[in-house]
Copies of this chain bind each other. A is one copy, B any other.
Amino acid sequence: MSVNKVILVGNLGKDPELRYTPSGAAVATFSLATSERYKDREGQQQEKTEWHNIVAWRQLAEICGKYLHKGKQVYIEGKIQTRSYDDKDGNKRYITEIVADQMQMLGGRGDEGGGQREGGYAPRGGNRQESRPAQQAQRSTPATPAYEDFADPPFNPDDDIPF
């Protein structure tokens, strides 16, 4: 019953740090700058930069560690998460991070890209029919497209297409 979604386009302040948990899961962290321009009361153009702590896990972490670098412009989609930890004086501290579930490299040539999703999903589908029913080819074309016309299951257009 709720939505927690963040969309950022910004530049990395440093190269990502890639680490591994004891059980072997990759985790990449980096900071991302977004900036906003505004005019102050003297009418001067000013700029204000916001720094975001980005965390990526598993396959997406590996890709971030491999392809991102300081200054790179990226699109990040994820969720907001606040963790608590105890600082050196034993006080509870909070840190807010963006847990990425999608990353897109933007802009530069020399930047090989492709959208990347978190998680390394298993392939869909499986035992699908190779043969297409003959009558499908003969179906008439009604004014309203029937369900057979849905040409595109998400993420795997070749899978399970009914015509």
- Report the minimal beta-carbon distance from A65 to chain B, rounded to whole angstroms: 12
Number of this chain's copies in the assembly equals: 4
Residues of A within 8 A of B (CB): 1-11, 17, 19, 21-25, 27, 29, 33-41, 46, 48, 50-52, 55, 57-58, 73, 75, 77-83, 85-88, 90, 93-96, 98-99, 101, 104-108, 111, 113-115, 118-119, 121-124, 128-129, 132-133, 136, 140-143, 145, 147-162
Q: List 13 A-B contacts (CB under 8 A).
A: A1-B104, A1-B105, A3-B8, A3-B9, A3-B10, A5-B7, A6-B6, A22-B133, A58-B124, A87-B141, A96-B96, A106-B106, A119-B155
